């Protein structure tokens, strides 16, 4: 193939959507989705459902949630750690994540210095946590005494939560792990008791880590600039990324891409995802709703650049200043982002209330029925018996939406 392949914006979007397992027909298994995405961001907000559950639903439709728990807590093929945010990650990627564990907190930033000083001052608390886990783990966060000699200072909600801070820091260092969950509560244990025997514990060099992670990120992104790779998977942990990309290009693993005739930036595509360019048009016919933290759109700058879709979470914006709503799900229609909905699920009443539906200016009227079907599918996944609309709805979509 030529040294630089020129793609249209539509082709680039199709690569991205297909690489994210969002094209049609969908993947046949949860394992395929997990191995392609490499991480599922965790977020405590569940106005509709927890984000990682929505990410899987967007790709698999209705699925057995117990399968995810089995992979996490029984098979241990997954564990919770920091990727581009707190996430569920693959145990086979442990060597990649171990690089962060070994060096955390790295650097000379003010925060890193504060953490190091606090850990040094609270050795007694650290030993207490490890001894308690050795004797009685797994334990919830409340299962430890506060033996801190220097309290954790913060202007936020973590101030004074010393045992919780110690657990979080030991988790970052890979010394402890989340061994299970009791509802929302995390149960902690020593990492050596959480990891399965087959875990690869051989250390990776920095170059190997970056090359392997860049390949994972690029397979997941479909098409990306180096700056996009930097923001994906192990965000901001790609030292010497240009060197790694050059080596992968020489090996034929990645290829340079130019987006349109006027974009002078260099994009890359992974050799494994090039066949997606040959997918038939009807392979991009799904209409799905995306978590606000979905892997496709978690990099807001890339989302705006590639889809011309400005997306910001408004959870911490005062109600009067919100443009769309507290919790908003973008609407993916084929390879295009055509709108967003603001849903809220009342679990006791089993009612899914859609507080607003917003279409992009170029959203097609013909998307009305697919969007209505996507909302109905969300209601079915949540177990809602009723869908109500309590806010604006585009005129072109109104009849289809209210018919559900």
Q: What is the DSSP string of 332-376?
A: EETTEEEEEEEEEEETTTTEEEEEEEEE-TT--GGGHHHHHHHHH
Rounded to whole angstroms, the maximal C-alpha distance in the chain is 65
- In the chain, DSSP finds a helix count (H) and a strand count (E) of 15, 14
* H or E element, residue 6: strand 4-7
Q: Do residues 65 and 301 make contact, with C-beta atoms less than 8 angstroms apart?
A: no
Strand order in the sheet with 254-259: 4-7, 254-259, 267-270
Helix axes 206-221, 30-37, angle to 10 degrees: 120
Percentage of residues of the chain with pLDDT beyond 90: 87
- Residue 390 confidence (pLDDT): 92
- Residue 26 confidence (pLDDT): 63
CA nearest neighbour of 118 among 160, 150, 147: 150
What is the arithmetic mean of pLDDT over 361-374? 97
Residue whose structure tokens are 């690489």: 19
- The rounded distance, in Å, linking the Cα atoms of 106 and 104 is 5
Span 203-242, pLDDT tens digits: 999 999 999 999 999 999 999 999 999 999 999 999 999 9
Query: Quick one: pLDDT band at residue 113, thresholds 50, 70, 90?
Result: very high
Which tokens is 261 given? 């005739």
- Residue 154 confidence (pLDDT): 81
C-alpha separations of 354 from 100, 118, 357 in Å: 41, 46, 7
Residue 261 pLDDT exceeds 80: no
User: Which residues are CB-neighbours of 348 under 8 A, at least 6 positions away?
Assistant: none
Residue 329 pLDDT exceeds 80: yes
CA nearest neighbour of 49 among 333, 338, 343: 343
- Residue 115 confidence (pLDDT): 96
- 74-94 core/surface letters (b: 16 or more CB in 10 A; e: else): eebbbbbbbbbebbbbbbebb
- Residue 3 confidence (pLDDT): 64
Q: Rounded to the nearest 5 degrees, what angle is found at the Cα of 74, between the Cα atoms of 69 and 76?
A: 90
Span 148-176, pLDDT tens digits: 999 998 877 777 899 999 999 999 999 99
Which tokens is 134 given? 């050795």
Write down how long the chain is: 404
Q: What is the DSSP string of 271-330?
A: GGGGGGGG--GGGS--EEE--TT-TTTSSHHHHHHHH-------TTS-GGG-SS-SS-EE
| Global pTM value | 0.95
Strand partners, 141: none
Decide the pairing of beta strands 351-359 and 386-389.
parallel
Decide the pairing of beta strands 267-270 and 4-7.
unpaired
């Amino acid at each position: 193939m030529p040294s630089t392949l020129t793609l249209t914006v539509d082709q680039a979007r199709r690569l991205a959507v297909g690489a994210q397992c969002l094209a049609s027909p969908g993947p046949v298994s949860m394992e395929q989705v997990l191995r392609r995405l490499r991480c599922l961001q965790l977020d405590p907000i569940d106005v509709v459902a927890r984000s990682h559950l929505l990410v899987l639903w967007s790709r698999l439709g209705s699925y057995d949630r117990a399968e995810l728990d089995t992979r996490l807590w029984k098979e241990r093929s997954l564990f919770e750690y920091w990727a581009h945010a707190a996430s569920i990650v693959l145990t086979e990627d442990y060597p990649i994540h171990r690089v962060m564990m070994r060096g955390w907190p790295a650097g000379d930033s003010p925060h890193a210095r504060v953490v190091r000083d606090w850990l040094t001052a609270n050795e007694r608390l650290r030993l207490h946590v490890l001894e308690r886990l050795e004797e009685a783990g797994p334990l919830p966060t409340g299962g430890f005494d506060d033996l801190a000699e220097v309290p954790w200072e913060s202007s936020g909600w973590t101030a004074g939560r010393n045992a919780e801070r110690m657990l979080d820091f030991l988790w970052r260092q890979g010394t402890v792990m989340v061994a299970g969950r009791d509802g929302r509560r995390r149960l902690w244990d020593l990492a050596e008791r959480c990891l399965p025997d087959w875990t690869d514990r051989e250390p990776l060099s920095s170059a190997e880590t970056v090359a392997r992670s860049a390949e994972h990120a690029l397979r997941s992104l479909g098409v990306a600039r180096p700056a996009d790779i930097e923001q994906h998977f192990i965000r901001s942990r790609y030292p010497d990324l240009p060197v790694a990309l050059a080596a992968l290009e020489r090996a034929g693993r990645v290829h340079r891409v130019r987006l349109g005739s006027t974009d002078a930036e260099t994009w890359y595509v992974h050799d494994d995802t090039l066949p997606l360019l040959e997918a038939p048009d009807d392979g991009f016919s799904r209409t799905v709703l995306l978590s606000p933290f979905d892997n496709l759109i978690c990099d807001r700058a890339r989302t705006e650049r590639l889809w011309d879709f400005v997306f910001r979470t408004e959870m911490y914006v005062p109600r009067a200043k919100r443009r769309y709503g507290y919790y908003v799900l973008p609407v993916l229609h084929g390879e295009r982002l055509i709108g967003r909905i603001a849903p809220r699920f009342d679990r006791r009443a089993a009612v899914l209330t859609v507080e607003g539906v917003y279409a992009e200016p170029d959203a097609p009227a013909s998307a009305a029925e697919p969007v209505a079907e996507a909302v109905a599918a969300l209601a079915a996944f949540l177990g809602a018996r009723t869908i109500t609309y309590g806010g604006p709805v585009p005129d072109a979509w109104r009849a289809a939406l209210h018919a559900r």
